[in-house]
Structure 1
Amino acid sequence: MNPNTAAAYLQLTPRQRVVELARPWVLVALYIGTAVAGAWWLAVPLAVAVCLAAFVQMHDAMHNALGLSKKNNERVLTLSALLILKSGQAMQVTHLRHHGRCLTDDDPEGAPATWSFARVLWQGPYHILMLRRESLRIAPKTRNRQLLETAATVFILAVFVGLYYYLDSAIGLVYWAVAFLMSATMPIWASYVPHHVASRNPAARVAAAMAQIWTPVVSSFAFHHVHHHYPRVPTALLHRAAAELPPPPEEHHH
């Protein structure tokens, strides 16, 4: 089946779309509520969940997989990326390049998948900064929007600092720390591991079996090879793509 045909076949229902769009924002509200209550043992894991949910939403928006109009999709891309303190436009540029030239010398996003694990550990934290530079090189026509979104992240960080100094609230700084940790380790969990764990691997099989528990997060790992072949299928429906569509070649994303 043609990948574009598959995307038309597997689309979110209106109810599923509401769930996918609301998830990170509901988690943000829960994070704020638990942090205000001083329940940091719960707030910190919720902050991690916010970052993961925002990453999945941003990723689906990159591929126009949410069934939204172009304008609304761009809004979701920008807002979901801001939740993880990123420029959605910049991330989209390097991600679509990754799909088009997967693991080649001109695939800056996929570079960590070609490194040794030791190199991923020490160089990975700087990789996300390099991607900002590469996104401007690859798509100079989107420079203004990329810079505007980057300025928005700086403003958010300034608000976090202001909350701490003027209201003695660490809510913003703790979230910033979690988002930074997720970014620093992104080359591991979003690049190296998905491209090195084959779908036949026991860990991937367990994740596939568990995909129904929190489909977007687990599916992004379990069905990474399916996503590369059917990029317009929403992350939440990748388990269906794996079950119902012709399987992609195992080497498709290696």
Structure 2
Amino acid sequence: MKKNSAHLQLTTGQRRIELARPWALAALYTASALAGWWWLAVPVAVAVCLAAFVQMHDAMHNALGLSKPTNERILTLSGLLILKSGHALQVTHLRHHGRCLTDDDPEGAPATWSFSRVLWQGPWHILMLRRESLRIAPHTRRIQLLETALTAVLLAVFVCVYFLTGSVVGLVYWGVAFFMSATMPIWASYIPHRMASRHPAARTAAALAQIWTPVVSSFAFHHVHHHYPRVPTALLYRAAAELPPPPEHNHHH
């Protein structure tokens, strides 16, 4: 962490909220789906995936103020919520920070594509990242493959529950998670790197981010995150207000 961002750390109360959010939303999804309230359950499933993404991302950067073993577990568990290997995504994400938008930045590649290419190639991009993470960090192969196996077990459970009980609760969640993965190159790569912080949409998001919305913060202050990666997503709005502004050209296509 840059030394002038060291004070931007979560309080105990804030940390509890950050850790609980995706799991509370997952419980809400399960309850509303079991009740048959799909009008509520499907949007909540989207919120679960976004909240899990933010938690996983903060764990990737050790930004939650947790011990190393606890942080590693959170990285695994939050990744599983979006049916991914957290450690695999961490490999390509840290490479993205180190070699942003270069030829050796597989995660950032969609930011350099045309939008039409992002649409048709995006769904395959996440599979390519899995291959790249094994190539870049073969020493983490064991945990990557373990998390991949756990994801397969989860999917098998969803299918078994459907055949045994007729419940589609797990399958619908799988569908939503797949959709979020397929569109991840758009909302997690293309838009943040193509949109300058001066853009009206980014300015609007920056204003909204002050009411404790980490997903919005990750969009509004992407350039700040690249410069101060150890600041938790939920506190990026404070980092933007209190720390020296970073140069935007370093990570915009």
TM-score normalised over the length of structure 2? 0.98
Name which of 36, 60, 63 aligns with 1:62: 60
Q: Is the 8 A contact 2:223 2:246 kept in 1?
A: yes
Letter in 1 for 2:197: S
SS of 2:210's partner is: coil
Letter in 2 for 1:203: A
Identity over aligned pairs, percent? 79
Which contiguous aligned blocks of 4+ residues in structure 1 show a shift greater than 3 angstroms?
Answer: none
Return the offset for 1:214: 4.3
Query: What is aligned with 1:87?
Result: 85
1:57-78 Cα deviation digits (max 9, x unpaired) = 0000000000000000000000
SS of 1:145's partner is: helix
Q: Is the 8 A contact 2:225 2:236 kept in 1?
A: yes
Q: Is the 8 A contact 1:229 1:252 kept in 2?
A: no
What 5-or-longer segments of structure 2 have no aligned partner?
A: none
Query: What is aligned with 2:133?
Result: 135
Q: CA RMSD in A?
A: 0.7
Q: Distance in 2 between matches of 1:4 and 1:22?
A: 27
Query: What is aligned with 1:156?
Result: 154
Q: Distance in 2 between matches of 1:22 and 1:40?
A: 23
* Residue 192 (str. 1) matches residue 186 (str. 2): no
SS of 1:6's partner is: helix
Name which of 116, 124, 127 aligns with 1:126: 124
SS of 1:211's partner is: helix
- Give aligned pairs, total: 252
* Residue 228 (str. 1) matches residue 226 (str. 2): yes
Letter in 2 for 1:35: A
Q: Distance in 1 between matches of 2:65 and 2:212?
A: 20
What 5-or-longer segments of structure 1 have no aligned partner?
A: none
Letter in 2 for 1:109: E
Q: Is the 8 A contact 1:65 1:233 kept in 2?
A: yes
Name which of 49, 70, 82 aligns with 1:72: 70
Query: What is aligned with 1:32?
Result: 30
Q: Distance in 2 between matches of 1:7 and 1:63?
A: 14
